[in-house]
């Protein structure tokens, strides 16, 4: 669409600012966008959306526009939606913090949002709406009440960041870290760094602020000269002293840390599990101070945050059984961090349910084998593997399952001991979140006082 078309479309959007892409969820007066899908074509549902109350429908089927004047034709509805989001963003001069990285994006975004909301009206990414569709939809929710925006951007291939950064126009950029995620697309850690750094480059080139995690060696080498705000561990030996420094006070059952900066020191007792979350807390603290909040206000906000999205979420069950739900995403970096946290857990019985790490490309087998070798170093932990990669690579004495249903069947017949902790970590498509109900049922039906469990001596094959 040319600029004139975008302006015309934007006027329609201002009259009907509620965007909907699912005809089943249309409400009166919505602006329906018919998006192309892998299995269905949104154009098929445009007329149904209008019947349900949508005021207009953006379509890529010209025959729909010929039959109904409420249908607006464009060749590419997704591109038009992105251009509409860019135009809408240009109408607001508020700060926008854009967050990307291999690990911790969503937790950092959530923490930044809860901190900033203590003082500002904040627009932030809901759920996992962080890609080429979700991020524009987030920006299209901007209204005159918002004073600041916190936007998460997730990518998995080269060439994706630049157009998203151009849409978001970040005034502040934060890259959480560079890890072994989406290597199938990026090819290498260096490729990941190049692509994700585009976000920081856009902010820096426009006079914005770059937040730098000094504990990440790749980010430190690339951005130590340009970054205006830095954070890292207090014991780090870097050429540049971090502006915000963390000292870990306690790792179990939840992370507690002391943060030092030019304003003084502040202790924070979080409801986040795992030492690896200190970067996310530090980042949110640095953002809060940058935007004028006091240290106690920031600490109280962070301490009030409890994960509910299967990301480092602790679920307490009867008989002192705990689930560490980290089942939304997984790559070698994040899985190793979650496992190392399990190593330090105080419970006498420890279990790890590990699902495949997807999109690793040529290094997939080696990275899965590395995780299995890591678990072999802690034989007291009972490990169950699930997914095609782990199943194929597992040795005969290893308990491995081809899919989640096979693992679920196994869990239904074993005893779950008192005072046990279960780590569930894997890529979202593996479906580990579906085991939560199974383990909850086992905790409810178990006999209090049971401290033993029976496992097979041979490899399970489902």
- The pLDDT of residue 291 is 99
Q: CATH 3.40.1390.10 in the chain: give the residue spans.
A: 3-77
- The pLDDT of residue 461 is 44
Q: What is the pLDDT of residues 40-96, one digit of tens each?
A: 899 999 999 999 999 999 999 999 999 999 999 999 999 999 999 999 999 999 999
- The pLDDT of residue 38 is 82
Distances (CA, A) of 372 to 193, 332, 343, 428: 27, 11, 14, 19
Q: Is the CB of residue 287 less than 8 Å from the CB of residue 325?
A: no
Spatial CB neighbours of 173, under 8 Å, sequence gap ≥ 6: 97, 98, 99, 100, 199, 200, 202, 203, 204, 208, 209, 210, 211
100: alpha, beta or left? (left if phi > 0; alpha if psi -120 to 50): beta
- The pLDDT of residue 236 is 66
- The pLDDT of residue 460 is 45
Q: CATH 3.90.190.20 in the chain: give the residue spans.
A: 313-445
The strand order across the sheet containing 313-317 reads 313-317, 321-326, 420-425, 349-355, 382-386, 399-401
- The pLDDT of residue 447 is 53
- The pLDDT of residue 308 is 84
275, two tokens? 């030492």
Q: What is the pLDDT of residues 268-305, one digit of tens each?
A: 999 999 999 999 999 999 999 999 999 999 999 999 99
CATH number, domain 92-304, options 3.40.50.300, 3.40.1190.10, 2.40.128.720, 3.30.499.10: 3.40.1190.10
Calpha distance 210→204 (Å, rounded): 7
Spatial CB neighbours of 25, under 8 Å, sequence gap ≥ 6: none
- The pLDDT of residue 455 is 53
**Would you identify the CATH topology of the domain 313-445?**
3.90.190
The β-bridge partners of 71 are 57
Kindly indicate whether the domain formed by 3-77 is annotated with CATH number 3.40.50.2300.
no
Per-residue pLDDT of the chain (462 residues; tens, 9 = 90+): 788 999 999 999 999 999 999 999 999 999 999 999 888 899 999 999 999 999 999 999 999 999 999 999 999 999 999 999 999 999 999 999 999 999 999 999 999 999 999 999 999 999 889 999 999 999 999 999 999 999 999 998 999 999 999 999 999 999 999 988 778 888 899 999 999 999 999 999 999 999 999 999 999 999 988 999 999 998 766 777 899 999 999 999 999 999 999 999 999 999 999 999 999 999 999 999 999 999 999 999 999 999 987 888 999 999 999 999 999 889 999 999 999 999 999 999 999 999 999 999 999 999 999 999 999 999 999 999 999 999 999 998 899 999 999 999 999 999 899 999 999 999 999 999 999 999 999 999 865 444 444 454 334 444
Calpha distance 290→247 (Å, rounded): 20
């Amino acid at each position: 669409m040319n600029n004139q078309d975008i302006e015309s479309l934007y006027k329609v959007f201002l009259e009907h600012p509620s965007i909907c892409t699912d005809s089943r969820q249309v409400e009166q007066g919505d602006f329906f966008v018919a998006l192309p899908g892998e299995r269905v074509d949104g154009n098929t549902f445009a007329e149904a959306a209008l019947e349900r109350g949508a005021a207009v429908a953006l379509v890529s089927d010209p025959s729909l526009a010929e039959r109904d004047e409420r249908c607006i034709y464009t060749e590419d509805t997704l591109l038009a939606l992105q251009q509409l989001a860019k135009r809408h963003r240009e109408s607001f001069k508020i700060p926008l913090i854009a967050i990307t990285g291999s690990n911790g994006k969503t937790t950092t975004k959530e923490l930044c949002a809860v901190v900033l909301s203590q003082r500002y009206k904040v627009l932030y990414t809901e759920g996992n709406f962080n890609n080429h569709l979700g991020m524009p939809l987030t920006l299209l929710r901007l209204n005159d009440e918002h004073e600041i925006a916190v936007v998460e951007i997730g990518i998995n291939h080269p060439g994706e960041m630049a157009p998203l950064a151009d849409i978001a126009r970040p005034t502040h950029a934060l890259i959480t870290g560079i890890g072994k995620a989406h290597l199938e697309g990026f090819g290498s850690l260096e490729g990941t760094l190049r692509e994700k750094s585009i976000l920081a480059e856009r902010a820096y080139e426009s006079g914005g602020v770059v937040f730098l995690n000094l504990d990440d060696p790749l980010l430190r080498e690339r951005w130590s000269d340009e970054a205006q705000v830095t954070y890292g561990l207090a014991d780090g030996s870097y050429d540049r002293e971090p502006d915000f420094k963390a000292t870990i006070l306690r790792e179990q059952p939840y992370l507690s840390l002391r943060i030092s900066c030019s304003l003084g020191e502040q202790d924070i007792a979080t409801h986040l599990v795992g030492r690896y979350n200190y970067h996310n807390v530090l980042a949110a603290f640095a953002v809060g101070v940058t935007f004028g909040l006091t240290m106690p206000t920031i600490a109280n906000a962070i301490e009030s945050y409890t994960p509910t999205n299967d990301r480092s979420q602790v679920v307490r069950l009867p008989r002192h059984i705990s689930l560490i739900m980290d089942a939304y995403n997984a790559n070698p970096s994040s899985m190793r961090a979650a496992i190392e946290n399990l190593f330090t857990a105080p419970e006498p019985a420890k279990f790890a349910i590990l699902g495949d790490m997807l999109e690793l490309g040529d290094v997939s087998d080696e990275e899965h084998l590395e995780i299995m070798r890591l678990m072999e170093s802690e034989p007291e932990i009972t490990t169950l593997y699930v997914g095609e990669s782990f199943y194929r690579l597992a040795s005969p004495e290893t308990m491995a399952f081809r899919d989640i249903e096979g693992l679920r069947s196994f869990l239904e017949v074993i005893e779950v001991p008192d005072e046990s902790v279960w780590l569930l970590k894997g890529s979202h498509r593996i479906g580990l979140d579906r085991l939560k109900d199974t383990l909850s049922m086992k905790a409810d039906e178990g006999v209090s006082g049971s401290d033993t469990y029976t496992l097979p001596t041979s490899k399970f094959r489902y």
